[in-house]
A = this chain, B = another copy of it.
Amino acid sequence: MARNVEFDEAAAIQKAMEVFWKKGYNATSLRDLTDAMKINSSSLYNTIGDKQELFVRCVQHYTDIRKEDWDKRLSSERSPLAILKDYIHEAVNIIINCEDSCMAVKSAFEVATNDERVKKILAADDQRSYQFLHNLIKKAMDKGEIRDDEDPALLADYFNSIWTGWYESFILHGDPIKIKRMAEYFIKQLTK
């Protein structure tokens, strides 16, 4: 009986995400967003909602595409340890190549401390990568590729939290060699 929404919501979310990613939640204005999304604020409020709601959707989108991206990167038939090593090298590449750091990390420190919904999304994303690592580590242990005298759950937590500091280091010093050397050391620790 009536009109349909004209703009492509998925594309608009993608654009909004890019702005939030670069500038952070609080430094991004509604004008910044509607400019990038190429929609009017009335359309935004009619379909998605207010700024907070939009941000939640963007964080969710970020973790969604990150999941897909990792699935693609690591969909090999190689051994568990080889995949773990790939994971580390891919992570290093992302850290030293992306201009705006990691949106999940930035949002954890800027928004998750105050916004329960954002915290939940980021915690779920963290849990997902944790599970991925946990499985791989267990398999690698079963195959005897890495020593099995440590709790795989502990190793997965440790593994999973190592990147954030490397992001910070790269922001402060911009030194890719530093990151690469830490990664090599980390791999060495894991295997010996």
Evaluate contact between B100 and A105: CB separation under 8 angstroms: no
Question: Do A109 and B113 have beta carbons less than 8 Å apart?
Answer: no
Residue in contact with A112 in the complex, picked from B122, B154, B171, B185, CB distance below 8 Å: B171
Q: Is the CB of B101 within 8 A of A105?
A: no
Output the least CB separation between A18 and chain B (Å). Answer: 15
A185 and B158 in contact, given A105-B168, A106-B109, A109-B109 (Cβ under 8 angstroms): yes
CB-contacts of A83-120 with B (<8 A): 100-101, 105-106, 108-110, 112-113, 119
Q: Are A110 and B112 in contact (CB under 8 A)?
A: no
A165 at the interface (CB under 8 A from B): yes
A123 to B186, CA, bound (A): 23
- A171 touching B119, Cβ below 8 Å: yes
Interface string of A152-192 (1 = CB under 8 A from B): 00110110111111111101110000100110011001000
The chain B residue with its CB closest to the CB of A112 is: B171
Chain A, interface SS category? helix
Cβ contact of A157, chosen from B106, B161, B181, cutoff 8 A = B181
Q: In the assembled complex, which residues on chain B have CB atoms less than 8 Å from the CB atom of A105?
A: 109, 168
User: Contact at A161–B189, with CB atoms within 8 Å?
Assistant: no
A123 to chain B: closest residue by CB = B172
A6 at the interface (CB under 8 A from B): no
A63, B86: Cα distance in complex, Å: 37
Task: Check A172 against B26 for contact (C-beta < 8 Å).
Answer: no
CB distance from A32 to the nearest CB of B (A): 13
What are 7 A-B residue pairs whose CB atoms fall within 8 Å in the complex?
Answer: A24-B110, A101-B113, A105-B109, A106-B110, A109-B109, A154-B185, A161-B165
